[in-house]
Chains A and B, each alone.
Chain A
Amino acid sequence: MDSKHDRIKKLLSEETSPLPPELNWEQMEAGILKKMEDMQSDASLKKKRGPIREITAGILILLLIGTCTFIRQQTGKGLLPNRKEVAVIKENTSEQYLLPVPAKTIPLSEKPQPEDCPEETVAFNTAYNENKLLKTNIISNNFKQRATIISTISNWKKPTTTPNKTLVEASENSSKKSTITEPQAWDFAPDIQTLPTRTITCTRESKSIITSNYQNPPSEHNTAPTQSNSAHGQIAILSGFSLWNMGYGALTPERSEFERSIPSYQVQINYTHPLKKGFQLTTGLHLQQLNSLFEWSTELENQTIILQDTIIQVQTNSLTGHQNIVRGDIEVPVEATRNVRHFNQTLLYQIPLAVGKSWRFQHWQMEMLIGGAITIFSENKGRTLYQSQLIDYGGVNTPFMNNQWQMQAMAAGRIGYYFNDRLGIKCGLQFQKSLTDWSLESGVSMRPSVFGGELGVVYFME
């Protein structure tokens, strides 16, 4: 078979076929040149459209991810899955027996029912109901109060006499000392100190079942996020203030004397992709407005004002004492200044790309980011003093600076608080320094620095 293929190959490799006459250069030249032009125009069109397409695609992807996350959150926010409660219970280091039945959430306002615990706990609950050992109203969400109660109970001493059933009366501020009765609360004190955090659990010994009754019920909103969500991507929408320094170089132009930064705002939507070992990659779209105030004043020479209907003379009759007031307009020279006060506004659309590291402490997460941002579009509007003339400008470029397609180095630090596995808030500070020169003037450099604060919400994705 190989010999056959070799033969075919040999035959086909020979370039002995006569060329058709229509393939001579004279007839082909025009067609080739035309196709070259077409290809060049196609290539330039693709080149122009390339960044726009990429940016559009990026935004669409972000929007899609955001929408999916939102929909999932909306459809999945009914019941908490049991795994969350198990995860919480695992955090507890006390020697407690986790019930073989799914943990049940009981609102604070309700008393636990016997069916909340298995048989071995029913006895205690019965005792609880009958003896009114501790009133429900002493149960507090407040850990401080709980600590106070615990402290109070720890200090209890065994009474010498046992009066009738009494109640542990504890007011909300726990300042009131309790009266001790049976069943003996000091038996419970050590167990109270080892209370689990949030879920209903029961120990095997009935006397320590008290743990389950005094805890905050687990709820979707106060469940600490599990560690697993740190391995998921997250979308954050942040906004805040921004301040900037124009960063003029050594040859400061005259306008820097009249311009100063005023606080403005920034909005950003970020997607953070988790990497290994707490590292993460962040990108998104960042809208940043940089405002500055232009204040300029100059002395105006030969300025006068006209005082209308002004008393210019008072005529007094010396015989009768009658006074005749003469009014008229007079022109008075004045010292005048012209004050110009104008807001300059620069709007930057940036795509940031940063790597970061995050650390998680239960509900809290801290992250540090470092990277860069490229300005894909800018819009300027304002007035400046340029070469001794006031110039109004607007659009992408100004006569003296170009801030589109500029690169910025970026560093940020953020702290987040997570309500649950899905939702959290985040705040932080961000600093940007332009790596490229915005200035279009020779001999003048302009590398602005931007400092901003941000606050917003963050969604964890599935």
Chain B
Amino acid sequence: MVFGFHYYTRTTKSLIVVGASIIESVKQGEKGAFKLMYQDCIAYVFSIVRRYVVNDSDHPDVIQEIFARVFLSIGTFDTSKGDFKFWLRRVVINQCMQHHRKGKSAASLVSIHKVSEDNLQADDQIEQFSKADIEQLLNQMPEGYRQIFMLIIIDEYSHQEAGALLGISPETSRSQLSRAKSWLRKNLYNNELKTLANGL
């Protein structure tokens, strides 16, 4: 029987079980515990990383950095107060942003361009898209849009938090999100047209 904290994502497929004993062992610097924690968390970490880091070849490097950071700073995590999954997600996202800052310029804001707002009928076909389609679409999204979209829509950051993380103001964050949504609408519509065209 495993005594510890059980963290679940919204879907039951993604169970993260990190025992308190494992956390304590990692705090003590036991390398055996590193492995256990890695195996427990890698799926969750990878799911976040691939959303923020488009280039597949960068994933191993980013994940190494994330786990190095987790193992080094887990002493700051208080098992009695916090949610490990929440804490881990913060570390992962922060590290992904750091990776972007190191690799290129900071979250490149996308220049303002006119995006059609009237393709709302794409919303109706959203159910037709698979996860792979969505991921492919989001991977095509400009860097600045995608980061804001992921942070605010998927990871439920506030504009204040997202702005602080990306080094932009909350107003800029709102503006970027608005454009990201417009971009998504437009491209969902285009994809839908392609789907329809292919079906002809």
Does A pair with B?
yes
Contact call B68/A35, Cβ cutoff below 8 A? yes
Q: In the complex the two chains form, what is the Cα distance from A302 to B154 in whole Å?
A: 94
Contact call B60/A11, Cβ cutoff below 8 A? no
Contact call A14/B59, Cβ cutoff below 8 A? no
Q: How far is the CB of B104 from chain A (nearest CB, A)?
A: 20
Q: How far is the CB of A28 from chain B (nearest CB, A)?
A: 6
Contact call A22/B72, Cβ cutoff below 8 A? no
Count, A-B residue pairs, CB within 8 A: 104
Q: How far is the CB of B138 from chain A (nearest CB, A)?
A: 8
- The dominant DSSP class at the B interface is helix
Q: Does B126 contact A (CB under 8 A)?
A: yes
Choose from A8, A13, A17, A27 the contact partner of B10 (Cβ within 8 Å).
Answer: A13
Q: Please tell me which stretch of B46-54, B75-83, B157-165, B167-175 contacts chain A, meaning at least 4 of its Cβ atoms lie within 8 angstroms of it.
A: B46-54
B120 CB contacts on chain A under 8 angstroms = 1
B51 CB contacts on chain A under 8 angstroms = 12
Contact call A12/B135, Cβ cutoff below 8 A? yes
Q: Which A residues between 92 and 127 are near B, CB-CB below 8 angstroms? A: none
Contact call A39/B72, Cβ cutoff below 8 A? yes
Contact call B13/A16, Cβ cutoff below 8 A? yes
Q: Does A15 contact B (CB under 8 A)?
A: yes
Contact call A28/B10, Cβ cutoff below 8 A? no
Contact call B39/A32, Cβ cutoff below 8 A? no
Contact call A17/B44, Cβ cutoff below 8 A? no
Q: Which A residues between 8 and 58 are near B, CB-CB below 8 angstroms? A: 8-17, 19-20, 22-23, 25, 27-29, 31-33, 35-36, 38-40
- The dominant DSSP class at the A interface is helix
Q: Does B43 contact A (CB under 8 A)?
A: yes
Q: How far is the CB of A271 from chain B (nearest CB, A)?
A: 31
A17 closest partner in B (C-beta): B47
Q: How far is the CB of A260 from chain B (nearest CB, A)?
A: 50
B42 CB contacts on chain A under 8 angstroms = 19, 23
A25 CB contacts on chain B under 8 angstroms = 35, 38-39
Q: In the complex the two chains form, what is the Cα distance from A376 to B71 in whole Å?
A: 33
A12-B138, A15-B9, A23-B46 are known; give 20 further A-B pairs, CB within 8 A: A1-B123, A1-B185, A7-B129, A8-B154, A9-B154, A12-B131, A13-B11, A14-B11, A15-B11, A16-B131, A17-B46, A19-B46, A25-B39, A28-B67, A31-B64, A32-B38, A32-B67, A36-B71, A39-B68, A40-B72
5 closest A-B pairs by CB: A35-B68, A15-B14, A31-B64, A11-B131, A15-B47
